Amino acid sequence: MSKSRLMFGAAIVAMAPALSVFAQTADSLQLEEIVVTAQRRAENLQETPLAVSAITGEGLESQGVKSVVDLSATVPSLQITNTGGGASQIFMRGIGSTNTTEVGDPAVAYHIDGIYIARATATGALFYDIDRVEVLRGPQGTLYGRNATAGAINVITKKPTQQLEGSASVEFGNYDALTTGGMLNVPLADTLAVRAAFQTTRHDGYQKSITQGPQAGNDKDSQDDKSARIQALWTPTEKLSLNLRADWLHRGGNNGGDVAYPMETGDPRTILSRVNTSRDNTFWSAGTELNYDLDWAQLTYLVGFNSAKDNRIGENPATHAPNYFHGIDETWSHELRLGGETESLKWVIGAYYFKEDNDVDFRIFQADNRYLSFIQPEVFAKTKAVFSQATWSVTDELRLTGGVRYTEDRKGRNGGTYFTNNAGAVTSTVTLNVSDNTWDRVNWRAGVDYDLTDDSMIYANLATGYKAGGYFDGVEPNDYKPEIITSYELGVKNRLLDNRLQLNASAFYYDYQDFQVSAVGTIAGQDATVTLNADKAEIYGLEVETDFLLTEEDRIDASVSWLHARYKKFLLPRGDAFANNAANASMARCFTANYSAAAPRAADFSGCHMARTPEWSINLGYQHRFDLPDGASLTARVQSHFESSKYLEYHGFQQNKQDDFTKTDLSLTYAPSEGSWTLMAYVRNLENDDVRTASGPNATTGLATNGNGDFYAPPRTYGVRFGIDF
């Protein structure tokens, strides 16, 4: 890290108490207080010694955040993209996973109302009737554990209340977009309330097919989602509460969204399509949260069940061959916590259990009129963990935190890779896919935080995290080791100028070992792509977030992230498909390989960029309220997201690099002086640039040209939204 950047980080920390001298006379103009549960207890965001971003439901609506993918433009160091099948790929501070199959695990733990969501296809649920979204950056190996190597995202829905209320909204936009939503909260008794909400959203395909004739396929990248949620909150006594929740989501529309490389039409928004693709994914879940006050402690039990059924028809954008996916995934999770506090000690202990069963059938059409079929009827994962964490107030200003978690993971499957005919019958076996492996790990956290003033806090954390190992196609031994991370972080949180200015900053360093990466191995006696472990990666960076109420009418929110993410030691002794293809010898790339030697040849990726890690990312928003003569108001908002260039995969091929870009959103909201309705007009992605969000070289051929294609962010969209509360 350069001296100037170190000085910048030190200045951010040092200036916090100094800024307080500019405090003005207190008045009613103050930033709202946000309560989070990032540490498994309710506490003020500014008193939580972690790098946490919290966005309220009202903030999500004003910024046009409709799903987890949209969070990228509001949270520092966060990269989230969708794939054609609807799966979300989440990268945080350079750490993530592109393996969204049934054997791949994410590096960011995603939760809805405390229930862990295991599969990437289920994280794309719509945001509606949301209380807040909490984004925890950095390993959360103590309190969250399973696959929280990079951090965690917690979506907290609004709970039933003892107030009769409701809302409704409708939104129209280009691409024939239509979004509807509504909520009704009904108190049935003094101890029982029910809340129900729904949302639907649809739009035509962002990719228009220009193929003519009887073999023409449909447009791609459309959406047709429907979702509903119902909750009941029962509080029979002051000490006992029981919250029951059920969710349903259907994701339809046309599958796809990837673009052939090189482009067949020269425009990523127009494609040649020969397959009528579709998506018919259904998710439903049920959960219960029980809280009981024992006087000396709070007992919490969370149980959740999630079911996912995926049925998709896809199209290879280069060969135009169809593929078919059918999957059934079911998970159970249980968490039992006991937490309490005294005058000087806050503590929590708990136990966790997770179980997943998956049945997958994926078939890819081949040129010889048969299918390469991955038939995995038995895919399973189990996790057991116990954990504890405590914070001791040494003085009124100084606190020490320590935590530990023991986790045991077991993962495996029993299936195979086959050739099948048009009737679905197996004609030959390529290889059996069998595995059953267990890993365990102890993770810990040590932290200290200190109040510089009543409104400024400095903190330091040392924490570890891990992501379980896994397996690839073939028979045992076909496993790879877990990923392990050690994080060092220093941060400061401030409320200044009589609570009108919030300024938070953090600096971090990651020691990242055994990164899981694709390489060359042997399956059924042949060289094939497997997953191995890279030795070491190094990540460090700086983040600054601010929210400023300039006047009663003006507000600024901003965040800046600077990130350095490189492989420090990454040598593949037998190379991979790209090091072993001599056609790449003259291509611009990051890795080094001796192409004069015979394949397989070693490849050295030391010093290469990690995937999806722009050096700079900046979010800036400004809004102004115009007070109209009749007492009504008009609120204008502009927000822009900037990213410097980034490689979308780690080989460093120029074909897979996205140049720097900006994305700007505009909105104008009218609210009458009387009545509880609003009317908003908006434009998203004003620039309408073609921004790639995912790209990878062709692992099948080993060429630097892109593989199955590139994915692009949505084009410019615009529309109007009417909402009413009653």
CA distance 718 to 66: 14
Instruction: Give the mean pLDDT of 594-623.
Output: 93
Q: Are 647 and 615 in contact (CB under 8 A)?
A: no
What one-character-per-residue DSSP string does 140-200 give? -TTTT-TT-SSEEEEEEEPPP-SS-EEEEEEEEETTTEEEEEEEEEEEEETTEEEEEEEEE
Does residue 9 register a pLDDT over 50? no
Does residue 350 register a pLDDT over 70? yes
Does residue 659 register a pLDDT over 70? yes
Q: Are 403 and 444 in contact (CB under 8 A)?
A: yes
Instruction: Give the mean pLDDT of 294-308.
Output: 96
Residues ≥6 apart with Cβ < 8 Å to 76: 53, 137, 543, 544, 545, 559, 560, 561, 617, 619
Does residue 6 register a pLDDT over 70? no
Does residue 726 register a pLDDT over 60? yes
Report the 10 Å Cβ neighbour count for 346.
18
pLDDT digits (tens, 9 = 90+) for 502-530: 999 999 999 999 988 777 666 766 666 77
Instruction: Give the mean pLDDT of 370-375.
Output: 93
CA distance 227 to 471: 34
Q: Give percent above pLDDT 90 in the chain.
A: 71
Instruction: Give the mean pLDDT of 401-430.
Output: 94
- Out of 313-322, 324-333, 578-587, give the one with best mean pLDDT: 324-333
Cis peptide before 262 (omega within 30 of 0): yes
| Predicted confidence band of residue 18 (pLDDT cuts 50, 70, 90) | very low
| pLDDT given for residue 25 in this prediction | 38
| pLDDT given for residue 433 in this prediction | 93
Residues ≥6 apart with Cβ < 8 Å to 277: 217, 218, 220, 254, 255, 256, 312, 313, 314, 315, 322
CA distance 362 to 344: 56
Does residue 624 register a pLDDT over 90? yes
**Comparing 145-149, 405-409, 461-465, 565-569, which segment has the lowest mean pLDDT?**
145-149
Residues ≥6 apart with Cβ < 8 Å to 538: 509, 510, 511, 512, 564, 565, 566, 567, 568
Q: Are 500 and 549 in contact (CB under 8 A)?
A: yes
Consecutive H or E run containing 236: none
pTM score, whole prediction? 0.91
**Planar angle of CA 227, 232, 237, nearest 5 degrees:** 160
| Predicted confidence band of residue 26 (pLDDT cuts 50, 70, 90) | very low
Question: What letter does residue 28 receive in the DSSP assignment?
Answer: S
Does residue 707 register a pLDDT over 90? no
| pLDDT given for residue 499 in this prediction | 93
Instruction: Give the mean pLDDT of 79-106.
Output: 80
Q: 572: closest CA among 486, 651, 474, 476? A: 651
Does residue 175 come out as left (phi exceeding 0), alpha (psi in the -120 to 50 range) or beta?
left
Residues ≥6 apart with Cβ < 8 Å to 267: none
| pLDDT given for residue 12 in this prediction | 44
Average pLDDT of the chain, as a whole number: 90
| pLDDT given for residue 209 in this prediction | 94
What one-character-per-residue DSSP string does 29-54 give? --PPP-EE-TTSS-EEGGG--SEEEE
> Residue 607 phi/psi, 5° resolution?
90, -5
Q: Are 413 and 378 in contact (CB under 8 A)?
A: yes
| Predicted confidence band of residue 191 (pLDDT cuts 50, 70, 90) | very high
Joined together, the tokens standing for residue 318 give 């280069």
Instruction: Give the mean pLDDT of 34-41.
Output: 91
Higher pLDDT, 524 or 436: 436
**Comparing 330-344, 617-631, 688-702, which segment has the lowest mean pLDDT?**
688-702
Does residue 435 register a pLDDT over 90? yes
Does residue 717 register a pLDDT over 90? yes
What one-character-per-residue DSSP string does 345-364 give? EEEEEEEEEEEEEEEEEEEE
Q: Are 379 and 103 in contact (CB under 8 A)?
A: yes
* 56 burial via Cβ count (<10 Å: 0-12, 13-18, 19+): middle
CA distance 581 to 281: 38
CA distance 488 to 508: 6
Does residue 700 register a pLDDT over 80? no
